[in-house]
Amino acid sequence: MRLLIEFLISVLSSIGFGVITNIPKRALLPAGITGGVSWCAYWLISLQDHSLILPNFTATVIIGLLGNYFAIRHRVPVNTIYIPSLVSLVPGGIAYLGARSFTMGKAASAAQQIYNVIL
């Protein structure tokens, strides 16, 4: 159930960013699906591998493959699929937690989270 919720939120965030960046309407759903599938791959791999490298690598490979497929199929530039799909992989949540830990006086936790954002 949680995977389905994660997928739907990622699809909606990718579509929302596509609307903000004014991509063609025919590319909104493919960009959303690509973002959702890449986030699910990231999430599932991060459950097994606690580093940041393998989950991000796998998710970006999926974005590359699905992005090219959907770009050819829907006859749109590949960047119109890539850019909105990457939104779910941006580490904004980790940056927020780092800033929150810093303001709460937890310097060690904040330093670790900010380090993860920079990587």
Q: Residue range 18-41: average pLDDT? A: 95
Report whether pLDDT(95) > 80. no
* Span 23-40, average pLDDT: 96
Task: State residue 38's pLDDT score.
Answer: 96
Residue 92 banded pLDDT, cuts 50, 70, 90: confident
Q: What angle do CA 19, 23, 27 make, to 5 degrees?
A: 100
pLDDT for residue 9 is more than 80? yes
Portion of the chain with pLDDT greater than 70, in percent: 100
**Is residue 38 within 8 Å of residue 59, measured between CB atoms?**
yes
Q: What is the pTM of this model?
A: 0.80
pLDDT at 104: 86
Give dist(CA 9, CA 73) in Å, integer.
24
Mean pLDDT of 76-81: 95
Rounded distance between C-alpha atoms, residue 52 and residue 45, angstroms: 10
- In whole angstroms, give the CA distance from residue 80 to residue 95: 26
**Better-scored residue on pLDDT, 115 or 10:** 10
Report, as an integer, the average pLDDT of 23-49.
95
- Domain locations in the chain? 2-90
What is the CB-side half-sphere exposure of residue 62 using CA atoms within 13 A? 25
